[in-house]
Chain A
């Protein structure tokens, strides 16, 4: 991709906000609507891919100083730990639960432990996808 592509860069600057916001929506809405950890994670990864396409890798890396390999590992760790934590409540491994709470702004809201597990999934997906993309592109 031409690193001096002005149109792509200008569009990306706006689009990335939309994409990331939408990914967060996808992620959080996953319990009742299409979405969830996998899809949310993938769309974040897609947004990052767009960033890498529009700007060169060094710039993005400087602005998003995240080691994506570690992010992937962290994701798996979170997923495993949420699974283990159910053991502490005398429930089988990976047992999920949910409940309804009255929150100040949102009113009656459903909170599910599955979201914690989903965070792990999302992080693992983002981490892995971006790691693969980055390492392949460095190979050029």
Chain B
């Protein structure tokens, strides 16, 4: 295992110890001071790769995981992954620092908070660096789960639970779709490695599964990145603590979808479907998010919609950029490749300004007790630092100089304009729409940026509406947004360092066709003359200011949109409907009588096995090969039958338990006869313990209600019981005669040379099938905890009564 792997897994390793650290130091020292070391270490470690990656090289490192299934933890460090890795750990460090001041060390369950957060961090790192699609999928779902836990962190609140459930249902649905897509891809290319897939792109394009795989994969990406119409979960995810919103829902997790699209562009890009779906969904999301953001009253909700819209922008750029694959080399190819560069640039910029904005909103919330813009106002003189930070962040988002958002916004305009002029996939006809929509969306973006700054900080301060006396936040809370805001400005003045070290390598990763030429030589300049893009920006600013001033005159238009048609309404309806239906179905069979359950279980088993045997027409058996049945074996069988009948017919529970034990002992006698002492001993011990357990329960259980109603004869029960007996016997006989595969027992004969164990049972348990054992004891533990919880709950319930 390389140092790099350890770095990726560091958050997981640290997560294991976090609760202990919390127990040790809380509440004297904030647990965050220890946690912050993790992202900081990984960040500093990753920095050393920048020069290597900037030269255009890619580093692969493999650790075998399940080599027999071709699943290995292969890491792939290239320009794209490195940008994400640095964002995850860099923003992560700042967010942890911020959370130290935001989360009270006295009131909050910090160990849970940081464990979830570290889980998330590790999952994100694993996701962006893994080359194996199955490993990637595991990490992908882990981000969904840890985000669910984080959103539901204040689980006492109804809204938190609702938001968490919503985000999980949608993102996991997308994840499953993505899994199907990934499996299709691996079926086509016969590999799990993304790198190897890249060398088989021709196979993918020619396959009939090309379109389904692509759409399924995109559903995964769109749900994660909150693209329209899956975007509805993101505003509700704002129930999470603000550091989490800043981290997950602006800087990192939601960008996983972007990452996925970028990562698979070399495989799917160049087709018109990919081009139109990605850029189309992106641009719809862009305008949908920006229009909705204007109408929000909650600052965090406003930022959430703005995130949706900005993600749409990046998605749209990636879609446009994929056309470059179609052209291969040449001028047209460069024109479109420029969009990819813009996408990556905006991705970095968005993380800096949106991260700082979220943190500032958290500060406002923390210091005033509300995020409602109708209550806020006039905070400028009270919170001067926050005001400055908001100006920087919002104006960067609005695309004004001298902030980095201006540069990427201009690049965005350039991309949509040039794309509209170049003939590809029918861009001549529909192409003009894209710049127009982009421009309108930018106007709305401008408006909500103005709302964010001026509604909060100017106007009249009304302390009577606030619960707290407002003052500036402590310095520790301000440092992280200040660092991000500084980055916003630094990137504006020195964009070419970013371009050379990060954007170019990422471009090569997304569009491998440029690898030979060393990428696209783009020098980003703040001033590029009086061109169309600049006029567009001026227009955006002008219109934005006018529309902001007359906001009250036209904002009533929002009320015309019927609530019943909104996506949220649809979501709620479908959730409610599903719950009702499943409740009805469940009530139908959950009668509370064990007898009924047994009827269902055994009836189903008989039907399933019986029809399988019938349909496969595989039932046949011969007894010619069987060994002779000796007298004492016959005797044991008779004894077994007798004890089985005793269990059934005995009147007393004690007799039944003992008879059951006897049956088990008799089975272990068979193991002795067939020379399997290991098995026999296991069986003996198990029987002893279960019999003892039974007796103990028997002694301690409350007296059963004497339910000696006469059991009526039921034909169904008779049919089912006979059916089960017959089916099991038939199955045993049939399976004895069908050896489809060579016996595996020869493999286990070598247990001494392979595992150094003379006891085969144990060698199988801990060596050959170690994974099974591990999962088994996990299941065992969960079952035990289940029993414990059920009984504790029952006891608690009884005490209440």
| Bound together | yes
Q: Is A108 an interface residue (CB 8 A)?
A: no
Q: Is A24 an interface residue (CB 8 A)?
A: no
The answer to whether B759 and A36 have CB atoms under 8 Å apart is yes
Q: Is B781 an interface residue (CB 8 A)?
A: yes
Q: Which 10 A-B residue pairs are closest in the complex by CB-CB distance?
A: A128-B784, A98-B756, A140-B700, A32-B758, A124-B777, A36-B762, A94-B770, A34-B681, A114-B766, A92-B64
The answer to whether B692 and A49 have CB atoms under 8 Å apart is yes
Q: How far is the CA of A122 from the CA of B66 in the complex (A)?
A: 25
Which residues 18-73 of A have a CB within 8 angstroms of B? 30-39, 42-43, 45-46, 49-50, 52-53, 69, 72-73
Which chain A residue lies CB-closest to B766?
A114
- The verdict on A135 contacting B780 (CB below 8 Å), with A34-B677, A87-B5, A87-B63 known, is no
The answer to whether A42 and B686 have CB atoms under 8 Å apart is yes
Which chain B residue lies CB-closest to A134?
B788
Q: Is A17 an interface residue (CB 8 A)?
A: no
The answer to whether B770 and A96 have CB atoms under 8 Å apart is yes
Q: How far is the CA of A112 from the CA of B386 in the complex (A)?
A: 60
Listed stretches B273-281, B644-652, B726-734, B790-798; interface member: B790-798
CB distance from A128 to the nearest CB of B (A): 3
Q: How far is the CA of A50 from the CA of B689 in the complex (A)?
A: 10
Chain A residues within an 8 Å CB radius of B770? 83, 94, 96, 117
Contact size range, A: 35 or more
Chain A residues within an 8 Å CB radius of B697? 136-137
Q: How far is the CA of A42 from the CA of B686 in the complex (A)?
A: 7
Q: How far is the CA of A16 from the CA of B780 in the complex (A)?
A: 25
Q: Is B761 an interface residue (CB 8 A)?
A: yes
The answer to whether B787 and A136 have CB atoms under 8 Å apart is yes
Chain A residues within an 8 Å CB radius of B771? 83, 93-94
Q: A73, A88, A94, A127: which has the most chain B beta carbons within 10 Å? A: A94
Q: How far is the CA of A90 from the CA of B64 in the complex (A)?
A: 7
Chain A residues within an 8 Å CB radius of B766? 36-37, 96, 114, 117-118, 121
Determine which of B689, B693, B774, B784 lies in contact with A72 in the assembled complex, contact meaning CB atoms within 8 Å. Answer: B784
The answer to whether A1 and B699 have CB atoms under 8 Å apart is yes
- The verdict on A135 contacting B792 (CB below 8 Å), with A33-B759, A46-B692, A96-B767 known, is yes
Q: How far is the CA of A1 from the CA of B699 in the complex (A)?
A: 7
CB distance from A99 to the nearest CB of B (A): 8
Q: How far is the CA of A52 from the CA of B689 in the complex (A)?
A: 13
Q: Is A15 an interface residue (CB 8 A)?
A: no
A-B contact pairs, 6 of them (CB 8 A): A1-B699, A31-B757, A38-B682, A93-B65, A94-B770, A124-B778
Q: Is B469 an interface residue (CB 8 A)?
A: no
Chain B residues within an 8 Å CB radius of A112? 755-757
- The verdict on A38 contacting B765 (CB below 8 Å), with A1-B699, A90-B64, A135-B791 known, is yes
The answer to whether B685 and A42 have CB atoms under 8 Å apart is yes
Residue numbers of B with Cβ under 8 A of A are: 1, 5-6, 16, 63-67, 73, 677-678, 680-682, 685-686, 688-689, 692-693, 696-697, 699-702, 755-759, 761-763, 765-767, 770-771, 773-774, 777-778, 780-781, 783-785, 787-788, 791-792, 794-795
Which chain A residue lies CB-closest to B794?
A139
Q: How far is the CA of A39 from the CA of B612 in the complex (A)?
A: 36
- The verdict on A72 contacting B791 (CB below 8 Å), with A34-B678, A37-B765, A83-B770 known, is no
Determine which of B680, B685, B781 lies in contact with A75 in the assembled complex, contact meaning CB atoms within 8 Å. Answer: B781
Chain B residues within an 8 Å CB radius of A79? 773-774, 777
CB distance from B444 to the nearest CB of A (A): 49
Chain A residues within an 8 Å CB radius of B763? 31
Which chain B residue lies CB-closest to A31?
B757
The answer to whether A110 and B777 have CB atoms under 8 Å apart is no
Q: How far is the CA of A91 from the CA of B5 in the complex (A)?
A: 13
Chain A residues within an 8 Å CB radius of B700? 136-137, 139-140
Q: How far is the CA of A136 from the CA of B692 in the complex (A)?
A: 13
Q: A1, A80, A114: which has the most chain B beta carbons within 10 Å? A: A114
The answer to whether B758 and A133 have CB atoms under 8 Å apart is no
Q: How far is the CA of A62 from the CA of B678 in the complex (A)?
A: 36
Q: Is A106 an interface residue (CB 8 A)?
A: no
- The verdict on A76 contacting B778 (CB below 8 Å), with A121-B766, A137-B700 known, is yes
CB distance from A110 to the nearest CB of B (A): 6
Q: How far is the CA of A96 from the CA of B754 in the complex (A)?
A: 10
Chain B residues within an 8 Å CB radius of A73? 781
Chain A residues within an 8 Å CB radius of B65? 87, 92-93
Which chain B residue lies CB-closest to A99?
B756
Q: How far is the CA of A106 from the CA of B693 in the complex (A)?
A: 38
Chain B residues within an 8 Å CB radius of A117? 766, 770, 773-774
Chain A residues within an 8 Å CB radius of B795? 138-139
Chain B residues within an 8 Å CB radius of A140? 699-702
- The verdict on A76 contacting B689 (CB below 8 Å), with A32-B758, A34-B761, A36-B759 known, is no
CB distance from B696 to the nearest CB of A (A): 6
- The verdict on A45 contacting B681 (CB below 8 Å), with A131-B785, A140-B701 known, is no
Q: How far is the CA of A110 from the CA of B752 in the complex (A)?
A: 12
Chain A residues within an 8 Å CB radius of B693? 49, 129, 132-133
CB distance from A127 to the nearest CB of B (A): 7
Chain A residues within an 8 Å CB radius of B688? 46
Q: How far is the CA of A125 from the CA of B780 in the complex (A)?
A: 8
Which chain B residue lies CB-closest to A124?
B777
Chain A residues within an 8 Å CB radius of B67? 92
Chain B residues within an 8 Å CB radius of A76? 774, 777-778, 781
The answer to whether A90 and B1 have CB atoms under 8 Å apart is yes
Which chain A residue lies CB-closest to B697?
A136
Chain A residues within an 8 Å CB radius of B73? 87
The answer to whether A30 and B774 have CB atoms under 8 Å apart is no
Q: A69, A76, A129: which has the most chain B beta carbons within 10 Å? A: A76
The answer to whether A32 and B784 have CB atoms under 8 Å apart is no
The answer to whether A110 and B756 have CB atoms under 8 Å apart is yes
Q: How far is the CA of A110 from the CA of B759 in the complex (A)?
A: 14
Chain B residues within an 8 Å CB radius of A32? 757-759
Which chain A residue lies CB-closest to B73?
A87
The answer to whether A39 and B758 have CB atoms under 8 Å apart is no
- The verdict on A36 contacting B761 (CB below 8 Å), with A72-B784, A83-B774, A139-B791 known, is yes
Which chain B residue lies CB-closest to A122?
B777
Chain B residues within an 8 Å CB radius of A77? 16
The answer to whether A88 and B787 have CB atoms under 8 Å apart is no
Q: How far is the CA of A110 from the CA of B762 in the complex (A)?
A: 15
